[in-house]
Structure 1
Amino acid sequence: MKRAYSFVIIGLTVLSSFAQKEGISQKKQTEINKEIARNFYQDLWFTDNTDNYSKYVANQYVVHDIGDRKNVTELAIEQKNIADFFWENGEFESKIDYQIAEGDLVATRWTGSFKGNTLFGRIALETKHPISIINVFRIKDGKIVEFWNHRHDIDTPQTLKFTIQGLIVGLILAFIPTVVALRLRRKLRLLLSKGI
């Protein structure tokens, strides 16, 4: 009987040891995943090393973004293309605020501002105040395989900028049919005055 208890105690000790080792390796993997996410930002967004995209992003990944880019599968080169677009039009000044990781997911909140150096960059992309963004990455085999993108620019003048831009585009689009209608009205009056 004492022998049976001894085997049970030894068995539980061995299982406990395996569980502790597994917990340590998971914790280590979580830290590795956080480092992958940090380096992704440092190379592509915070400095202009966009050729390093393939170090961090799987050949294909799924993105859940604002607008129409929801549950879209893209090639890794798209991350380079997006970063290059911004770097060609200006410069980022950004920093990581904090990261939270669990399992294969890493959430990073970062704050950045963009200073345009082209006309398009100054008009469409430049930010007067920093914008906070939260990205969640799913990492598999050392590469980012899924992105969730959440911007927090609702409380910034950036929202007003897009509202004004939308208003201007709307006014231009409304102006065109108004001009056409006025011309047709003038032609109709001319025809009616001639009795046709």
Structure 2
Amino acid sequence: MTFVQIIDCKTGRFEDMNRLMDIWAEQTRGRRTATHAMVGRDRSDDAHYIEIIEFPSYEDAMRNSNLPETDRTFQEIVALCDEMPVFTDLDVVREDELNKAAARRFFEDVAGRGDLTAIDGLFAPGYRDHDIGKERDTTVGSDVLRRDVAAWRHAFAFDFQLDSQLAEGDEVATRWTWRGTHRGEFMGIPPTGRECAMTGVTVFRFQDGLIQEGWWNYDILRLLRQLDAVEM
């Protein structure tokens, strides 16, 4: 279970505190178990700071606390604070990564199951699509995406295996494996009945909860080789 530690402190020497945190990160490289750290400053009080540190589990957090560098850095940080920091330990019982969930829904429901009606709830009307498999680098509109999905599903019976997802800011990157059976015309190639596979990465950019832009990079050459459309 993911574990989060919240540290509430007041200090007029944040730059010194920031330097200590950088030193700790360097000294514990290869041994620290923290996966994510964030520091926020109170907009109504410039001396009030909240640090949020994420760990894979409570046990990992305890291993991190037992590092000698962690204890030494903590004592130095306390000396910079106006008062003793307040700690809150949390077991994460719910975590909603909404953009990642929306990206998964496209691959599983729209592309994988053919639910084209879900596109309007996932994509902005002016969605911009960048696809290495197209002659034009950029196409615009959720209707274009709807036609693309329909064309692929006409040409192949397929599904996606989502291998990993990474989210940063307003972008979600999904690494996937696609497997399909060629049952309809594809890029002028008549149906062959062949089993095909390829891998790729799609990056979606979100705004206001909708996918505004997408970049598709996938092994189209491998797919065409499997269909005997090209030779090495």
The two structures have a TM-score, normalised by structure 2, of 0.54
Among 89, 92, 115, the alignment partner of 1:49 is 115
CA spacing shift, 1:13–1:86, aligned 2, 3 Å: same
1:148 maps to 215
Query: For 1:83 and 1:125, how far apart are their aligned partners in 2?
Result: 20
SS at match of 1:163: coil
Cα RMSD for the two superposed structures: 3.1
The gaps in structure 2 that reach 5 residues or longer are 1-9, 14-41, 53-94
The question of 1:78 aligning with 2:141 is answered no
Q: Share of identical aligned residues, percent?
A: 24
Aligned letter for 1:90?
Answer: F
1:34 maps to 100
Among 139, 150, 158, the alignment partner of 2:224 is 158
Query: For 2:101 and 2:224, how far apart are their aligned partners in 1?
Result: 30
Residue deviations 1:56-107 (CA, integer Å, cap 9, x gap): 110012222214331x241111111111122233311321111111101111
Q: Where is the strand percentage greater, Structure 1 or Structure 2? A: 2
Q: Where is the helix percentage greater, Structure 1 or Structure 2? A: 1
Aligned letter for 1:53?
Answer: I
The alpha carbon displacement at 1:157 in A equals: 5.9
2:179 maps to 113
The gaps in structure 1 that reach 5 residues or longer are 1-5, 21-27, 165-196
Aligned residues: 147
Query: For 1:151 and 1:127, how far apart are their aligned partners in 2?
Result: 19
CA contact (8 A) 1:127 1:158 kept: no
Name which one, 1 or 2, has greater alpha-carbon Rg. 1
